Amino acid sequence: MRPEILFPLFTSVSTLKGVGPRVAPLLEKLAGPITRDVLFTAPTGLIRRSVTTVDQAVEDQVQTFVVTIDAHYPSQRPSQPWKIRAWDGTGFLTLIWFKGHGPHLERQHPKGARRAVSGKVERPNGYASELQIAHPDYIVDEERAGEIPEIETVYPATHGLPSRTFRKFALEALARAPELPEWQDPAWREREKLPGWREALAAMHAPASEADISPLARPRRRLAYDELLAHQLALAQRKASRRSTPGPRIPSGPLSDQAEKALPFKLTGAQIRSLSEIRGDMASGERMSRLLQGDVGSGKTVVAMLAIADAASAGFQSALMAPTEILARQHFETIAAPLQALGLSPVLLTGRDKGAGRSAKLLALADGRHHVAVGTHALFQDDVVYDKLALTIIDEQHRFGVNERRRLQDKGEGVHLLAMSATPIPRTLELTVFGDLDVSRIDEKPPGRTPVATRAAPTPRVPEIVDRLRSAIASGAQAFWICPLVSESDKVDLRAAEDRAADLARHLPGVGLVHGQMPPAEKDAVMQRFVDGEVSLLVATTVVEVGVNVPNASIMVIEHADRFGLAQLHQLRGRVGRGARESSCVLLYDPPLSEVAQQRLDILRRSDDGFEIAEKDLELRGGGDPLGLKQSGFPAYRLADPVAHRDLIAVAADDARLILARDPQLTSPRGQALRMLQELFDWKPASPLNEAG
């Protein structure tokens, strides 16, 4: 049960004064459905208003004047503005209103009236003698001039809900915020000089300078730490709960050793280390929850295959789930022959399986004849029964929903989880995304991978690149051509990609197109034709499936490369350089490049280490959503900025571990305060956010 003291913050936004049926949806869209969401919406800027006179006014500044209304100039046509000329003894000031503001202005501000007026000062069309304010922020009787604030906090706004109105709601939400018991460690607060929770909120909503709005201001750091601690505590509790669930004991077995000896290459040091960590977990008797992270082509599937062989040696089954059929098929082709050579029976199960063929596969899984099932969502359907499922491997696990991952794991008792990801998350942010998983990293490339020559080229050189593609395709090579998100509209993006594909088809043979609007089966069919060599040039709107392996593809062209995240570009580049051919990646951009865009493309040319690239991207991009992390299962923080507050992430994770080691049930006074914190942020161990399995 939520503590009663928090009830005022969990009421609907419609309970705030002035929030009626029209405003409520706008406020929900900007902040969220409850009062707490409005309270946790930080100001985005400050407006300073200085009182001055027309002769001293500064262009493009927000300033306040005391004036006498001199004349009204009504609009003659709907497209023309209504103008009021005002005089302050030193010069004239023109006040302008567009669209429908009419005669009521004359009634409210008659000729001769004294008014205080405030807004952004402009000089129209460069006329030095004329000053104007379009749509003044304030125009009030002279006696009420004191009501115009010298410093005004700016909040997010939307059409129909201006910043000033949002500010009123934020201050009312603040008035409802109760004093709560302190949940932060006193020594930490003292060292960091952090204010109390209520005091920090009051300071956030009443900044006196730009520095107070910065994420680095102490009140913001206090609130950010609260949010990070609530999250890390939930992740640590979830991890502890998983650990307390027994898992099948799976020792390292002879089949795995045979499989490793039969490999046509030696494992890298990073693969050996990762495999050893996985084996340690599976043999421990506790349920494994581990992430295997590594660049595209770093050899994650081979490590997973050896873990599958260990499970089979111990008499257990495994399931390997991939987000698309083409990836599932590719994993199956990688592991099927080596496992069959050991006398094991792998099976591929996808949505295409129907009728008697599917029934036969399900029967062999249920009676244990199949040792491993590789597939898509088909692996966790209700009629799929496993004999002794003990290991689930989920590729690109952020592409699956919480319930989908859970349904697969519920097919056995205390099933071990191995998640795999080729999305390079910077080390500093790893805890926020994978805080409830142990992480193994494959940070070495297998020998024999061809380096990809990367260069940037301006868009006007497209004809030259098309000529090079023509000769490469004639010699048997294949290529990708990636079109970016050109707008927020899928239709516009699709049209741009279709136009590009049509244009390339006029000059080149065997052009295929895949895009996000295609039915999955159709998309898979085009991808398969590319894998089979029937399509020479694949034009794609969205990121080409992570992990798709076409060894013959040796050229990657990325249009508007400056619009992609660095990590995304690195993953796209990883599609080529998988075969014997020399490979290249061309980053097309519209000149001129900004300095940051130039730096980003330079990093990509210099480095092929996905983790280093992700870290650099984070530094260059700053706040917001670096790297498109929302797509990687990244938490949607309200008060913490994962970039500005990244030093606090590890501290919060350590604090959470220490808290649970001393007080696992959170029964001490601080523990009870921490329960309140978790309720406040709705981040509890059972919360679905970021559930990894």
3-class SS at 389?
A: strand
Find out whether 601 and 593 touch, Cβ atoms under 8 Å.
Answer: yes
Instruction: Give the HSE-up count for residue 608: Cα atoms under 13 Å, Cβ half-sphere.
Output: 20
Q: What is the DSSP letter of 519?
A: -
pLDDT of residue 681: 93
pLDDT single digits (tens) 216-254: 999 999 999 999 999 999 999 988 888 888 999 999 989
Unique residue bearing structure tokens 């193994």: 440
**In this structure, what token pair is assigned to residue 528?**
């398969």
What's the mean per-residue pLDDT of the chain? Answer: 88
Unique residue bearing structure tokens 């506790």: 286
- The yes-or-no verdict on residue 49 having pLDDT over 50 is yes
Tell me if the bond preceding 592 is cis, omega within 30° of 0. Answer: yes
pLDDT of residue 689: 41
Q: How does strand 62-73 pair with strand 50-51?
A: parallel
Q: Name the region of 264 (left: φ>0; alpha: ψ -120 to 50; beta: rest).
A: alpha
Q: What is the DSSP letter of 451?
A: P
SS3 sequence, 10-75? HCEHHHCCCCCCCHHHHHHHHCCCEHHHHHCCCCCEEEECEECCHHHCCCCCEEEEEEEEEEEECC
- The yes-or-no verdict on residue 5 having pLDDT over 80 is yes
| Least confident range of 105-119, 299-313, 534-548 | 534-548
Q: Residue 334: which residues within 8 A CB-CB, separation 6 or more?
A: 301, 302, 305
**pLDDT class of 546 with cuts at 50, 70, 90:** low
**pLDDT class of 433 with cuts at 50, 70, 90:** confident
Helix (H) or strand (E) holding 548: none
pLDDT single digits (tens) 636-654: 789 998 888 989 999 999 9
pLDDT of residue 444: 85
- Domains located in the chain, CATH noted: 50-148 (2.40.50.140), 179-445+644-693 (3.40.50.300), 452-607 (3.40.50.300)
**In this structure, what token pair is assigned to residue 588?**
């097309």
- The yes-or-no verdict on residue 160 having pLDDT over 80 is yes
pLDDT of residue 296: 76
| Burial class of residue 609 (count of CB atoms within 10 Å of its CB; 0-12, 13-18, 19+) | middle
Q: What percent of the chain has pLDDT over 90?
A: 64
| Least confident range of 66-80, 354-368, 479-493 | 479-493
What is the average pLDDT across 379-390?
94
Long-range Cβ contact pairs of 26-31 (< 8 A, separation 24 or more): 26/158, 26/160, 26/161, 27/161, 27/166, 27/169, 29/158, 30/156, 30/157, 30/158, 30/161, 30/166, 31/156, 31/166
- The yes-or-no verdict on residue 126 having pLDDT over 80 is no
pLDDT single digits (tens) 20-39: 999 999 999 999 999 999 99
Find out whether 555 and 583 touch, Cβ atoms under 8 Å.
Answer: yes
pLDDT of residue 16: 96
| Least confident range of 134-148, 369-383, 472-486, 652-666 | 472-486
The dihedral sign for the CA sequence 324, 329, 331, 332: positive
What is the average pLDDT across 64-80?
90
Helix and strand tally (H, E) in the chain? 23, 22
The dihedral sign for the CA sequence 611, 617, 620, 623: negative
What is the average pLDDT across 40-62?
94
Q: Residue 388: which residues within 8 A CB-CB, separation 6 or more?
A: 315, 316, 317, 368, 412
- The yes-or-no verdict on residue 275 having pLDDT over 80 is yes
Helix (H) or strand (E) holding 298: none
Instruction: Give the HSE-up count for residue 448: Cα atoms under 13 Å, Cβ half-sphere.
Output: 12
List residues bridging with 79 in a β-sheet.
none
**In this structure, what token pair is assigned to residue 353?**
């399986």
pLDDT of residue 624: 44
**pLDDT class of 688 with cuts at 50, 70, 90:** very low
DSSP track, 241-278: HHHTSB-------HHHHHHHHHSSSPPPHHHHHHHHHH
SS3 sequence, 153-222? EECCCECCECHHHHHHHHHHHHHHCCCCCCCCCHHHHHHHCCCCHHHHHHHHCCCCCHHHHCCCCHHHHH
Find out whether 250 and 316 touch, Cβ atoms under 8 Å.
Answer: yes
Strands of 299-398, DSSP E: 317-321, 346-349, 372-375, 389-395
pLDDT of residue 597: 82
pLDDT single digits (tens) 450-499: 678 999 999 999 999 999 999 999 999 999 999 876 554 555 556 778 88
Angle at 531 between CA 469 and CA 336, to 5 degrees: 150
Helix (H) or strand (E) holding 650: helix 646-662
**pLDDT class of 379 with cuts at 50, 70, 90:** very high
Find out whether 556 and 573 touch, Cβ atoms under 8 Å.
Answer: yes
| Least confident range of 267-271, 377-381, 578-582, 629-633 | 629-633
Record the pTM.
0.78
pLDDT of residue 625: 44
- The yes-or-no verdict on residue 284 having pLDDT over 50 is yes
The residue type found at 629 is L
The distance from CA 599 to its chain's CA centroid, rounded to whole angstroms, is 22
Q: What is the DSSP letter of 286?
A: B
**pLDDT class of 626 with cuts at 50, 70, 90:** very low
**Whole-number Å distance between alpha carbons of 601 and 483:** 17
**pLDDT class of 431 with cuts at 50, 70, 90:** confident
Angle at 562 between CA 558 and CA 565, to 5 degrees: 90
| Least confident range of 60-64, 143-147, 349-353, 593-597 | 593-597
- The yes-or-no verdict on residue 693 having pLDDT over 50 is no
